[in-house]
Amino acid sequence: MAQRYVFYGYVIQKKGCFFQDASKIFCFSTLTHTPVFYQRDLLYICSFLKGYIMGKIVSFANQKGGVGKTTTAINLAAGLAVLEQRVLIVDADPQANATSGLGFESNDRNTYSCLVGQATARESIQQSAELPNLYLIPSSIHLVAAEEDLRSMERSQFRLKEVLAEVKDDFDYIFIDCSPSLGLLTLNALVASDSVIIPVQCEYLALEGLGKILHTIKMTESQLNPEIEIEGFLMTMYDSRLRLANQVVEEVRRHFGHLVFETVIPRNTRLSEAPSYGKPVLLHDAASSGATNYLHLSKEFLRNNS
Ligand SMILES: Nc1ncnc2c1ncn2[C@@H]1O[C@H](COP(=O)(O)OP(=O)(O)OP(=O)(O)O)[C@@H](O)[C@H]1O
Ligand SMILES: [Mg+2]
């Protein structure tokens, strides 16, 4: 029997790329049942995998206000930081809730100054004192004017992508906390992102509200960023005592299937009070159900990305 190589392309398929030169590393001989390695390919594949694993950019988006975008960005980032991942949060919302919720203050190097070219991403990054793996580019009130300023720039939808390219490989994950609008700022976030997390509040007509954000993601995918994927829908503010909440979760799962995170975030007072202490809930009350569930989500997120 002639020796054949079976292409073992899980990682490559997942990325959606095909590397002819690197494919040998993923070949198995049907005669010897052993992988075929070449050192040159190993080096090549390592740099490829590093590019894949490092710096995944994830947006937190939903045009509906108050559904848990910022709470999720902060607490998922904190959970991942505890699990030894380097995470950068980019606060792209003029409300600056992620900035204040993590105890940071805005200064003159922020998301706005990066977008308009007055600062670079690297020089705008601040490190959390309590969680050394957690970093932030703060928001500023000037972001209110960003849409106007961006419109007069070339490649206005690609500004944030270009800004983050400088630091993409310095982090395991970069999270962009979007505002509750689907304007040019959120479009910049989606264009820069590899995936998007859509928090969905467990309330009446939850599915109805998703049409706009899904349309925007589809439009971004077809015209500006073909690589973008939905990382997951996250059910938030779940109250197990309410029959409606259970029905909503079931309905969203029926509709979106495996795209809905298994972890459901409960309504929890510790989650809502933590930002006033400038802390993620894990540092505010590690024993709370909010902390437990966001840590659970962090592990699920890592499993999905391993
Ligand atoms: N699971 C939860 N339990 C209790 N309170 C929560 C929970 N999730 C979020 N909150 C609170 O609900 C409010 C809205 O949450 P959050 O700011 O995360 O939403 P958002 O989608 O980022 O809002 P916006 O659209 O204004 O940016 C906040 O006061 C937050 O503390
Ligand atoms: Mg927010």
What CATH number is given for 54-304 in this structure? 3.40.50.300
Give the Cα separation of 30 and 107 in Å (integer): 60
CB 190 within 8 Å of CB 227: no
Q: How many CB atoms lie within 10 A of CB 131?
A: 20
pLDDT value at position 45? 52
pLDDT value at position 49? 52
What's the longest Cα–Cα distance across the chain? 70
Q: Is the CB of 110 under 6 A from ligand 1?
A: no
Query: Whose C-alpha lies nearest to ligand 1, atom 28?
Result: 272
Q: Is the CB of 180 under 6 A from ligand 1?
A: yes
Q: Is the CB of 235 under 6 A from ligand 1?
A: no
pLDDT value at position 91? 98
Q: Is the CB of 237 under 6 A from ligand 1?
A: yes
Note the ligand closest to the C-alpha atom of 99: 2
Looking from the CA of residue 67, the nearest atom of ligand 1 is 21
Q: Domain extents for the chain?
A: 5-49, 54-304
Pocket perturbation via mutation, ligand 1, pick of 272, 284, 295 by most ligand atoms within 8 A of CB: 272
DSSP H or E segment with residue 42:
helix 39-53
- The DSSP result for 189-216, as a single string, is HHHH-SEEEEEEESSTTTTGGGHHHHHH
Spacing, Cα 101 to ligand 2 middle (Å) = 10
pLDDT value at position 31? 43
Helix (H, G, I), strand (E, B) or coil at 233: strand
Q: Is the CB of 265 under 6 A from ligand 1?
A: yes
The pTM assigned to this predicted structure is 0.86
pLDDT value at position 54? 74
Give the Cα separation of 2 and 35 in Å (integer): 17
In a structure prediction context, what are the per-residue pLDDT tens digits for the chain, which is 306 residues long? 333 333 333 333 333 333 333 334 444 444 444 444 444 454 455 445 544 557 999 999 999 999 999 999 999 999 999 999 999 999 999 999 999 999 999 899 999 999 999 999 999 999 999 999 999 999 999 999 999 999 999 999 999 999 999 999 999 999 999 999 999 999 999 999 999 999 999 999 888 889 999 999 999 999 999 999 999 999 999 999 999 999 999 999 999 999 999 999 999 999 999 999 999 999 999 999 999 999 999 999 999 999
Structure tokens at 252: 């969203």
Look at the chain and count its residues. Answer: 306
Q: Is the CB of 78 under 6 A from ligand 1?
A: no
